[in-house]
Amino acid sequence: MTPAHRTSGLSRRHFALGLPSALLTSGCAAPHQGTGRPGDPIVLTLLSHYASGVLKEALQAPVDEWNDSHDRVKVRTKAVEFTDLLTTFMVRQAAGQGADILHPYCLWNGQLVQAGVLRPAPREHAEEITRGYSEAAVDAASVGGKVYGYPTEVQTYALYYNKRLLREAGIDGPPRTWRELEETAYRTARRDRYGNTLVQGFGLSTADDSTTVGQTLALLNAAGGRFVSEDGRSTTIDSPAGRAVFELEHRLVDRGASAPGVNVYKAFRSGQVAMVVSGGWWTGSLKALMGKDYRDVGVAPLPLPEADGKRATLSTGFMLGVNAASKHPRAAWEFLRWLNAEKVIVKRAMKGGTATRMSSLQVSAGSLTGRADDMRTLLGSHSDANLGPFLDALAYSVPEPNVPGAQQAKSLLRKNIEALWTGQQSVDQALRTTRRQVDREVARSW
Amino acid sequence: MVNVDALTPATTERAAPGTRSAGTAVDGRARARRRQAVVAYLFLAPSLLFFAVFLILPLGFALLLSMSRWAGFDLGGIQPVGLDNFTGLFADGSTFLAPILTNTLLFALGTVVLALAGSVVVTTCIDNLRFQGLWRTLYFLPIVTTVVAVGNVWKYMYEPGGLVNGVLNALGFASVAFLQDPATALPSVVVVHAWASVGSAILVLTAGLKSIPESYYEAAALDGAGPVTVFWKITLPLLRPSLLLVCVTQLISGLQSFALIIVMTKGGPGDATNVAALEMYRQAFSYGHWGPASAAAFVLFVVVLVITLVQLWIFRRKGEDA
């Protein structure tokens, strides 16, 4: 190397030494939290799964509004895909880098509370939450009787059906009982001569936990059953209601009306599924993806085993809570109250109509919130009629159990449902195995 | 190469005690050796430190966790439970031994057999073709492609209306639910993992093939040996060191693999494709059960160690070193 080279700026050696050092330094550096002193505002981090598309933009809008109108406390959003959310919570918390505000799926609340990640809501916030939200939403955001956060989106489950496919099969309307559901499924299902499914009568899918388990639990609730016992320490799936659901699904697969190998999310929007049970969030997605074919989509309350039975379905949800390790919990709760409890005038609602920023955010993204009053204000009379059954279901839905070990119990249930669908287990075996495995694993989590 | 045995007596003779100068020389050499040792350790220190921080400490921590109950965040929350986590893995009703560990072994063995057979055939064929670099590059491409991409592409190909079933239908066969049927799910993933592993195996085997002296083949040709005889009697035996390396590395990678499975089947349907590494990942990062996850990791470690030692022993008995 010539002297001229050595003196001209950054040499290769310096660069080679400097780069790893810089990376190491930046990697080890904790995010700037701020002190709250004048000129150095508190910076709260909010970790969510609103990582892309409509949801990301919808969340950023009120956050920007807060940052523009508040000098002392600023909020910075961080997002990961939903499939990585729990893992990210766990890893960041273990590394001492947990966000101030967390946006967990309510199913994980028991696990996160037990691990000391979530901070109970202060009394005034807990009272506001209990007063302002539906019972299912409050239950989902609570563990052991304590409220841990503001419910955000709340999803209830209902029956999606394709009007065109039902009409072509000579069926007037959606089924109201399980007998009608089966008949409709068998009449609409079609396969080609190679065994490929052309139309599933009733969509059963192994696409993910939420689809596989969600539809089974919704049917279980509709049959008057529960997945987890009152005390949360064991499962009650091995019951007459559980048996009825497993037998129904087994028959549908066995007689060719359902093809669990097909991705139901894609197949339904392609007109290859006549009926499927899913959450309310799907309407927004279907509307965007199906274009004019969306007019064939109808939503009805979940069919019941008997026509005169008591309505029930599953509800799932998310909430916004504060990390137990946050250095600025008061500021974090204040931001959450501003976002979730403070009502502001909504432009597109009736004159003078008010709703929380979070409710507006959810509805703009085609979702529901646990605040029924906000929903009615925001939806108005010109809203999508398909949202109606989901909104009605808020009154009678059963929240997904969120006891410690709930995620594992859900995974175990999914495995056994899949084993039932694929003929690895009989109904009896699937019920027994689920009970034995879930009881054992859930007990270990307490 | 220096013959150490030949040098030793002379060294001993020079170091014989009895004279002052001889003693000083011995002391000097000892000091020099100590200095060399210190310098050697100094050079080794960074890598030893690296191993201590990133291997020994985590290993010790994992051993501690394997005998504890811990939710993952607060070190003060570690509760000793003795061997409960290990006994839990093999308790009645646990799925760890069957099907999880069984799947792990089948997955690894299936991958090794397919990848080894495939790479031997492909390497031998390529060796007889023009543009060898091009063919090797083509077969190596899956290695530089991310597992997620490989898994997703194959997943779509395996789907009921996918490419593979399309070909089967065109040939007049009924569709196969490759990833949805518990009987075909694991073999279907094994095929993909083996396909993705063939590239690296080909590189190793090519190096082995090139090191076989050409004179052996010339002698065989003079003796009138056919291509099959040459392959079985010359190529395959002389490839044994390379085959051992491929076999050991593929088996270890197969036993530890889970990324492809999580992309293609998530361990399903049921537990049909669940493997030990995937179960460990879920226990620790999804359920917060660090104790059972660490216990499972140690069991897998022992399995990998035993299988590797057995492989080395078998190949050594056949006269080859690793």
Backbone angles phi, psi at A253, to 5 degrees: -70, -45
Which one has a higher pLDDT value, A10 or A407?
Answer: A407
Reply yes or no on whether the pLDDT at B51 is more than 50.
Answer: yes
CA distance B70 to chain A (A): 9
How far apart are alpha carbons B199 and B187 in whole angstroms? 20
How far apart are alpha carbons A405 and A416 in whole angstroms? 17
Lookup result for tokens 């040459």: B230
pLDDT digits (tens, 9 = 90+) for A419-433: 999 999 999 999 999
Reply yes or no on whether the pLDDT at B9 is more than 50.
Answer: no
Lowest mean pLDDT among B65-69, B112-116, B316-320: B316-320
Reply yes or no on whether the pLDDT at A370 is more than 60.
Answer: yes
pLDDT digits (tens, 9 = 90+) for A380-389: 656 778 888 9
* Amino acid letter, residue B304: V
Residue B142, pLDDT score: 84
Kindly indicate the confidence band of residue A11, based on its pLDDT and cuts at 50, 70 and 90. Answer: low
Mutate to test the interface with A, among B65, B73, B180, B261 (most CBs of A within 10 A): B73
How far apart are alpha carbons B305 and B297 in whole angstroms? 12
DSSP H or E segment with residue A279: strand A273-279
Token output for A112: 């996160």
Name the region of A120 (left: φ>0; alpha: ψ -120 to 50; beta: rest). beta
Residue A49: HSE in the Cβ half-sphere, 13 Å Cα cutoff = 18
DSSP H or E segment with residue A275: strand A273-279
Kindly indicate the confidence band of residue A349, based on its pLDDT and cuts at 50, 70 and 90. Answer: low
**Measured in Å, how far apart are chain A's first and last C-alpha atoms?**
66
**3-state SS assignment for residue B24:** helix
**3-state SS assignment for residue A200:** strand
Tell me the DSSP string of A302-315. Answer: PPBSSTTSPP-EEE
Q: Is A301:A311 a contact under the CB 8 Å cutoff?
A: yes
How far apart are alpha carbons A424 and A9 in whole angstroms? 68
Mean pLDDT (whole number) for A311-323: 94
pLDDT digits (tens, 9 = 90+) for B289-304: 899 999 999 999 999 8
Lowest mean pLDDT among A70-74, A240-244, A327-331, A403-407: A403-407
pLDDT digits (tens, 9 = 90+) for A351-363: 678 899 999 888 8
pLDDT digits (tens, 9 = 90+) for A200-214: 999 998 877 778 899
Kindly indicate the confidence band of residue B287, based on its pLDDT and cuts at 50, 70 and 90. Answer: confident
Q: What are residue A273's DSSP bridge partners?
A: A200
Residue B4, pLDDT score: 42
- A419·B269 Cβ contact <8 A: yes
User: Who contacts B152 (Cβ-Cβ below 8 Å, separation ≥6)?
Assistant: B263
pLDDT digits (tens, 9 = 90+) for A331-341: 999 999 999 99
Average pLDDT, chain B: 86
CA distance B71 to chain A (A): 6
User: Who contacts B233 (Cβ-Cβ below 8 Å, separation ≥6)?
Assistant: B220, B225
Reply yes or no on whether the pLDDT at B190 is more than 60.
Answer: yes
CB contacts < 8 A (A, B): 101
How far from A70 is each of A42, A338, B108, B203, B266, CA to CA, in Å? 11, 11, 57, 61, 45
- B268·A418 Cβ contact <8 A: yes
Reply yes or no on whether the pLDDT at B112 is more than 90.
Answer: yes
- A117·B73 Cβ contact <8 A: yes
Reply yes or no on whether the pLDDT at B321 is more than 60.
Answer: no
Q: Is B67:B291 a contact under the CB 8 Å cutoff?
A: yes
How far apart are alpha carbons A425 and A441 in whole angstroms? 20
Residue A347, pLDDT score: 74
Residues of B in contact with A97 (CB under 8 A): none
Q: Is A302:A277 a contact under the CB 8 Å cutoff?
A: yes
Cα B130 to its chain centre, rounded Å, is 31
- Count each helix (H run) and each strand (E run) in chain A, helices first: 19, 15
Residue closest to B106 by CA, chosen among B182, B158, B203: B182
Q: Which residue of B has its CA nearest to A117?
A: B73
Q: Is B266:B179 a contact under the CB 8 Å cutoff?
A: no
B288 closest CB neighbour out of A111, A195, A196: A111
Tell me the DSSP string of A140-159. Answer: HTEETTEE-EEEEEEEEEEE
Residues of A in contact with B148 (CB under 8 A): none
Kindly indicate the confidence band of residue A305, based on its pLDDT and cuts at 50, 70 and 90. Answer: very high
Residue closest to A401 by CA, chosen among A442, A372, A341, A361: A442
Residue A41, pLDDT score: 84
Residue A37, pLDDT score: 61
- This prediction has a pTM of 0.82
Neighbour-count burial for A151-188, b at 16+ CB within 10 Å, e otherwise: bbbbbbbbbbbbeebbeebebeebbbebeebbbbbbbb
Mean pLDDT (whole number) for A234-259: 95
Residue B1, pLDDT score: 41
How far apart are alpha carbons A33 and A360 in whole angstroms? 29
How far apart are alpha carbons B68 and B230 in whole angstroms? 57
Residues of A in contact with B289 (CB under 8 A): 408, 444-445
Chain B interface with A: residues with Cβ < 8 Å: 71-74, 77, 88, 93, 95, 159-161, 165, 168-169, 173-175, 177, 179-182, 266-272, 282, 284-289
- A408·B77 Cβ contact <8 A: no
Residues of A in contact with B155 (CB under 8 A): none
Q: Is A115:B72 a contact under the CB 8 Å cutoff?
A: yes
Q: Is A111:A92 a contact under the CB 8 Å cutoff?
A: no
Mean pLDDT (whole number) for B241-260: 90
How far from B220 is each of A257, B206, B226, B229, CA to CA, in Å? 64, 20, 8, 9
Reply yes or no on whether the pLDDT at B12 is more than 50.
Answer: no
How many other CB atoms are there within 10 angstroms of residue A28's CB atom?
A: 7
Residue B2, pLDDT score: 41
For β-strands A101-102 and A42-48, DSSP reports them as parallel
Residues of B in contact with A194 (CB under 8 A): 165, 168-169, 173-175
Kindly indicate the confidence band of residue A32, based on its pLDDT and cuts at 50, 70 and 90. Answer: low
Sign of CA dihedral B234, B235, B236, B239: positive
Residue B138, pLDDT score: 85
Helical spans, DSSP H, in chain B: 4-14, 20-51, 57-66, 84-89, 102-127, 132-144, 147-158, 163-170, 182-210, 214-222, 227-230, 236-238, 240-256, 259-264, 276-281, 290-317
Residues of B in contact with A441 (CB under 8 A): 287
Q: What ipTM was estimated for this complex?
A: 0.79
B286 closest CB neighbour out of A87, A195, A261: A87
How far apart are alpha carbons A431 and B7 in whole angstroms? 76
Max mean pLDDT range (A13-22, A75-84, A179-188, B63-72): A179-188
Residues of A in contact with B287 (CB under 8 A): 111, 405, 407-408, 441, 445
Average pLDDT, chain A: 86
Neighbour-count burial for A56-74, b at 16+ CB within 10 Å, e otherwise: eebbeebbeebbeebeebb
Mean pLDDT (whole number) for B111-120: 93
Residue A144: HSE in the Cβ half-sphere, 13 Å Cα cutoff = 11
Kindly indicate the confidence band of residue A2, based on its pLDDT and cuts at 50, 70 and 90. Answer: very low
